Structure 1
Amino acid sequence: MQTPAAHRRELGAFLRARRERITPGQVGLPETGRRRTPGLRREELAVLAGISATWYTYLEQGRDIRTSDQVLGALARALRLDALERAHLFRLAGHAAAQSEEPEPLSAEAAAVPLLLQPNPAYIIGGTYDVLSHNQAAEELFPGLLAPDGRANFARWVFLEPAAREVLVDWEVEARGLLARLRTLAGRHPGDPRHTRLAEELSAGSVEARAWWPQYDVEARRGGRKRLRRPGGAVADFSYTAFHLAEAPEQTLVVYSETGPHPGRSSGRDQ
C-alpha cells in the first residue's frame, strides 16, 4: 500500500525530528568537529539501520517509496524509539489500519455521564480535545474552559487561557504532555484540517506550543495525578482516570477525584 502524500510528509518530519535528537556519542560514533545541524547525519543513521543513505534521504524528503516492516523496525531501533513512538512510525508509514477522519457524534447516553458524576469534575473530549460534554464541577475547577461562543476545547484552554497557568500548578509538564498526546492523535489523521487548524491556532497564540510542536513528542492518553489550584487559591492533589468510549475510541471520559490538600501548598496564590 502506498502512503498518501500527507502521511509521507508527516513521516519525513517525524524521522528528521527523531534523528536530530540523537547525538553521535549516544550510538557509539566519534564526535568529529562542529556540526551544522543537531543530532545524527542522514548517512550515519542509514549506516546504523543498515539501509541505503540515498533511500533514507528519499524517505525523509517524503518521496513516494515503499517501506517494509523490516526496514521500519531497523529505523526504530537505530532511532531508539519507544513502543509508542515505534507504533507512531509504523502508522505514518501506512502499516496500520486507517481510521476515519470524521469524529463520531457523542451519543445522548454518553453525554449524560459527566452530569451523573457530579460533584466529581468530569468531561468527555474528542480527538482534537474539543470538550463534548462536561459537568458544573469541571467548569468550576477549570475557569474559562467554556468559550463565549459556548464551545470548549481543553488544548486551547491550557495554552491560550491565562487562568490555566494558575490552575495547573505544574503547567509546563502538563502542557507538554497534552501537546504530545495531541501530536499522537494528529499522526493518525495526517492532513486532517481539524488537527491542522488546532496546531496552527496553538502555535500562533503560544510561544511554548510553537517551540514544542516541531519536536514531535508523542504520548498516549492515560490517567495520572495533577496538582491543581482550586477556586480560592488552595493547591490540592487530584487523581484522574481516562476511559475510552467503546463506540468511539478517540472520545475519552476523564474523571477527577481530589485526594487532599498538597502539603505546604494550601495557603493561596502566592505559593
Structure 2
Amino acid sequence: MSRPESWSELGAFLKARRAELSPEQVGLPDGPGHRRVRGLRREEVALLAAISTDYYMRIEQGRIKASCAVLAELAKALRLNDDQSAYLYELATKDAGPRSRRPARQQVSLPLWRMLDDMPTSPAFVIGRRTEILAWNELAAAVFTDFATIPEKDRSYIKVLFTDPAMRTLYMDWEEVARLAINQLRMHSARYPDDPQLAATVGELSVKDAQFPTWWAARQVNVRSSGTKRLRHPVVGELVLDWSALTCANDPDQQIIVWTAEPASPTHDALRMLAAWNATSQESQDTAR
C-alpha cells in the first residue's frame, strides 16, 4: 500500500513547527556545542512527546501513521494552537488507497442568493473550498471589485488578492490579509490533498507572485472565523469593517463572509453612502441600455 501524500505533508508541517521553537521555550537545556539546525532537534521533540527518536523520525519522514495519542503529545510538545492541531489531525487521518474523487462543483442555493440580496447595506459574499467567490451582493462588488467581470476560472479570492494591483491599495494591511488567505487555503488543502484545481491555484500563484512560494512554504494555518480589516476605498475613503464567516449547513465547504460596521460610525455611514451611490450608478446604466 502506498503512503498518502498527506503523511509527507504532516512531516513537513512538524519540521516547520519545531524549527520555530528554541529549547528554552519548552524548558530544555540548550546543550553543549553549536546547534546545526534552527529550532528543536528531532530527539528533543521525541523527548517532550515521550516517544523514541526513531519513532518520531519515521513520522516526520512520512513512513508511518501516528496514533491519536501520539498526535496529542506532539501537539502539546510543539505548542500548537487549535487551528494547527486541527490541521495536524486532518493530515494524519488521510489513509493511503485509491485517489479520492475530484470534489463536486459547488452550487449556491437560490435562498442563499436571496439572503445576500436582502442585505443592501452589508457587503457579503460566499466563498468556496478553494476561495472561489461563488455568490455576492451588489455592495460587496462595490466595496471590493466587480466579481461579474472576472472569468469564472479566475474568480477566486486569493487569486484576485495577489493578481489585482487594486487589492494591494484597497487593503491597508495587504500583507497580513494575503498571509491569512494563504493560511486558510492550506487548511483546506489538508481536507482535499488530491484536488488538482487547488494544486493548480498554488502553482499559478507561485509563478505570478514572488512572495507567495515563501509564505506557502511556511505551512502556517488558520481557520476562517472573524476579524477586522481596514480598507482605503476609492469612493468613500477609509473603512473599518468587522467580518464574520458563517458556514452553510448544506455544504460545510461554503462560507458566507459578511462585513459590518459599528452603528453610527463613519464606516457605517460610508457603507450607506456607497450603497446609495451604487444604486444610482446601476439605474443610470440601466437607463442608458
- Structure 2-normalised TM-score? 0.81
Aligned match of 2:193: 190
Output the CA distance in 1 between the equivalents of 2:164 and 2:149: 10
Which SS does the other structure have where 1:12 is aligned?
A: helix
2:220 pairs with one of 204, 217, 232: 217
Cα distance, 1:253 vs structure 2: 0.8
Which SS does the other structure have where 2:231 is aligned?
A: strand
Alignment of 1:199 with 2:202, yes or no, is: yes
Contact kept in structure 2, 1:3 and 1:94, CA below 8 Å: no
Once the two structures are overlaid, the 10-residue window that deviates more, 218-227 or 194-203, is 194-203
Cα distance, 1:42 vs structure 2: 1.1
Aligned match of 1:18: 17
Output the CA distance in 1 between the equivalents of 2:119 and 2:2: 43
Superposition pairs for residues 29-108 of structure 1, below 5 Å? 29-31=28-30, 32-63=32-63, 65-94=64-93, 101-108=103-110
Give the AA of the match of 1:29.
L
Between Structure 1 and Structure 2, whose CA radius of gyration is higher? 2
Give the AA of the match of 1:205.
K
Once the two structures are overlaid, the 10-residue window that deviates more, 252-261 or 70-79, is 252-261
Give the AA of the match of 1:250.
D
Alignment of 1:162 with 2:165, yes or no, is: yes
Aligned match of 2:131: 129
Once the two structures are overlaid, the 10-residue window that deviates more, 196-205 or 124-133, is 196-205
Output the CA distance in 2 between the equivalents of 1:161 and 1:33: 49
Where does structure 1 differ by over 6 angstroms across 4 or more consecutive aligned residues? Answer: none
Does the C-alpha gap of structure 1 residues 82 and 261 become closer, same or farther in structure 2, counting only changes over 3 Å?
Answer: same
Cα distance, 1:79 vs structure 2: 0.7
The unaligned stretches of length 5 or more in structure 2 are: 268-289
Contact kept in structure 2, 1:45 and 1:78, CA below 8 Å: yes
Post-superposition Cα deviations, 1:153-178, rounded to whole Å, max 9, x if no partner, equal 11111122111111111112222222
Output the CA distance in 2 between the equivalents of 1:223 and 1:5: 32
Output the CA distance in 2 between the equivalents of 1:14 and 1:258: 37
Does the C-alpha gap of structure 1 residues 242 and 48 become closer, same or farther in structure 2, counting only changes over 3 Å?
Answer: same
Contact kept in structure 1, 2:7 and 2:65, CA below 8 Å: no
Which SS does the other structure have where 2:79 is aligned?
A: coil
Once the two structures are overlaid, the 10-residue window that deviates more, 40-49 or 98-107, is 98-107
**How many residue pairs get matched?**
259
Once the two structures are overlaid, the 10-residue window that deviates more, 135-144 or 42-51, is 135-144
Aligned match of 1:139: 141
The unaligned stretches of length 5 or more in structure 1 are: 263-271
Contact kept in structure 1, 2:232 and 2:239, CA below 8 Å: yes
More helix by percentage: 2
Cα distance, 1:40 vs structure 2: 1.0
Aligned match of 1:266: none
Output the CA distance in 2 between the equivalents of 1:118 and 1:188: 34
Post-superposition Cα deviations, 1:75-101, rounded to whole Å, max 9, x if no partner, equal 1111111122112211211189x9984
Which SS does the other structure have where 2:134 is aligned?
A: strand
1:178 pairs with one of 176, 181, 189: 181
Cα distance, 1:9 vs structure 2: 1.5
Which SS does the other structure have where 1:207 is aligned?
A: coil
Aligned match of 1:110: 112
Contact kept in structure 2, 1:141 and 1:231, CA below 8 Å: no
Give the AA of the match of 2:54.
T
Give the AA of the match of 2:209.
S
Contact kept in structure 2, 1:145 and 1:157, CA below 8 Å: no
Q: In percent, how many aligned pairs have the same letter?
A: 35
Contact kept in structure 1, 2:116 and 2:124, CA below 8 Å: yes
Post-superposition Cα deviations, 1:202-259, rounded to whole Å, max 9, x if no partner, equal 2222222211111111111112221111223611211222211100011011122234
Cα distance, 1:60 vs structure 2: 1.0
1:236 pairs with one of 236, 239, 243: 239
